Amino acid sequence: MRIAHPSRCLISLNHNIVHFSSCYSRNRLLSLKPLLLPQKPQTLTRSQRTRMAADISTPAISAAAEEDAKFGFTRPEMYKSNLAGTVDQYDRHVFLCFKNPDAWLPRVEESQTDPLPKLFSSAVKARKNDITIKTKVTISEGGEGTDFENGDVLIFPDMIKYKCLKETDVDGFVEDVLVNGKPWASGVQEVLTGSHVFVCAHGSRDKRCGVCGPILIEKLKEGIQSRGLSDQIFVSACSHVGGHKYAGNLIIYSPDSEGKTMGHWYGYVTPDDVPEILDQHIGKGVVIERIWRGKMGEVIEEGEKVVEEKLPNGKDVKESKKHDESSTNVNKENVGGCCQGSNGFSCCRDGNLGANEEKKAKEIGEVRGKKRLGSLSSWISSLEQSDVLAAVAVIGAVATIAVAYSLYKRTGQQSRTSMLRTEVENERD
């Protein structure tokens, strides 16, 4: 008698593939086919695929549009304020390169895990009475993917770079460079060349800069690369510089033909302004008045109309050496200082590291006084020549009358004296 052994079958479903090691009979397999094999997917029409893609992407697009409308270049507050005069006076800007905006706290100098910015800020504040130049101190990006390393220190308008400042070197650096105005004894002084653009992208401090800054940086880098200027113009993200409501904010440090560095601030900058910034401001030295906030080393009263200005370099950008390769020492003035504001490390407002409003008010008062004197001079110069001649004639007439009257009095006195003498002589006779 024939003994039938049950057939063994190992079935594995992997990536829609069915594998059999030992099979049932053909008929049995055919009966199991609807259960074991995957069904053919339903074919979707083009409209169905488009609708499914829209359903997936619509929330992301809506969120981005809502964010841009509230914090980006289309927000309602754009262009609502006068920009001229919104930069506090300062004469030197120090950038400490450290990590990137994603790693920055709202106030970078308060970080407990990243002590370098905190130590640098504390050292500058401790020497505030010994530092004479009004100086802004700001964090700039550094490390992989940037033009600088963590710990690099950039100084404008001196166009100087010191590499790799360490926590243990902070006090010596502040003493040598910022207080005494001398080269850092423990570091090598290098020359910065070209133009340097710093864009506020401090998103943890203010959402507007966090939205606008990265877009502007990307647009600037694209424009620089397309113009073949990657070795002449350098763009970096920086921390809070003051005036979040003017985002996008950027600062341009660019030397003129004589080597003097100019520091110009722009606000309400959009991606559409980038070509004009590269071609007009950096390329030809022409200030873009409608988005200009002010410049380093000059006090402008807020809201004051900007007089048309052209930078001294007034010429096209020419080929130059890389910005940080040279190690030639630079002659530097024997001066130092820091200007640090109440907002902390990134936004410095006066020479005493505090909000010295009295001094600021005095400076503004002096500016207004000069404006009043100028107005008086303009009024005097506007008088017609006939008015001036009439005034001179009146003064001359008065002087003539006074002289005549004086002579008249003197003649009268002489006549009376003569008469008295005659009477006396007659009596004697």
CB 9: neighbour CB atoms within 10 A? 13
Q: Does the pLDDT at position 95 exceed 60?
A: yes
Q: What is the pLDDT of residue 404?
A: 72
Q: What is the pLDDT of residue 359?
A: 54
Q: Half-sphere exposure of residue 172, counting CA atoms within 13 Å on the CB side?
A: 11
Of 13-27, 106-120, 242-256, minimum mean pLDDT range: 13-27
How many Å from the N-terminal Cα to the C-terminal Cα in the chain?
Answer: 205
* Gap between the Cα atoms of 24 and 218, Å rounded: 64
Q: Does the pLDDT at position 164 exceed 90?
A: yes
Q: What is the pLDDT of residue 55?
A: 60
Q: Does the pLDDT at position 353 exceed 50?
A: no
Write the single-letter amino acid at 108: V
Of 46-60, 278-292, 386-400, minimum mean pLDDT range: 46-60
Q: What is the pLDDT of residue 48?
A: 64
Q: Does the pLDDT at position 91 exceed 70?
A: yes
Phi first, then psi: give them for residue 66, nearest 5 degrees: -65, -40
The Cα angle at residue 184 between residues 137 and 174, in degrees rounded to 5:
40
Choose between 77 and 29: higher pLDDT.
77
Write the single-letter amino acid at 413: Q
Torsion of CA 401, 403, 406, 411, to 10 degrees: -100
Q: Stretch 356-376: mean pLDDT, rounded?
A: 52
* Gap between the Cα atoms of 429 and 241, Å rounded: 107
Query: What six digits make up the tokens of 179?
Result: 């207080």
DSSP state of 308: P
Write the single-letter amino acid at 288: I
Contact 231, 194 (CB under 8 A): yes
Phi first, then psi: give them for residue 339, nearest 5 degrees: -120, 115
* Gap between the Cα atoms of 410 and 413, Å rounded: 5
Q: What is the pLDDT of residue 89?
A: 93
What SS3 state is found at 330?
coil
Q: What is the pLDDT of residue 19?
A: 45
Q: Stretch 139-165: mean pLDDT, rounded?
A: 96
Q: Stretch 157-185: mean pLDDT, rounded?
A: 96
Q: Does the pLDDT at position 98 exceed 60?
A: yes
C-alpha pair distances (Å), 331 with each of 93, 183, 314, 362: 17, 9, 25, 33
Of 18-22, 62-66, 184-188, minimum mean pLDDT range: 18-22
255 Cβ neighbours under 8 A, 6+ residues apart: 159, 193, 195, 261, 262, 313
Q: Stretch 222-237: mean pLDDT, rounded?
A: 97
Average pLDDT score over the chain? 76
What's the pTM value of the predicted model, to 2 decimals? 0.63
* Gap between the Cα atoms of 348 and 134, Å rounded: 9
Of all residues in the chain, the percent with pLDDT exceeding 70 is 58
Of 54-68, 168-182, 231-245, 366-380, minimum mean pLDDT range: 366-380
Q: Stretch 102-125: mean pLDDT, rounded?
A: 93
Q: Does the pLDDT at position 342 exceed 60?
A: no
- Model confidence pLDDT, tens digit, residues 56-89: 556 666 777 888 899 999 999 999 999 999 999 9
Q: Stretch 106-118: mean pLDDT, rounded?
A: 92
* Gap between the Cα atoms of 163 and 281, Å rounded: 29
- Model confidence pLDDT, tens digit, residues 396-408: 777 777 777 777 6
Choose between 23 and 389: higher pLDDT.
389
Phi first, then psi: give them for residue 344, nearest 5 degrees: 105, -150
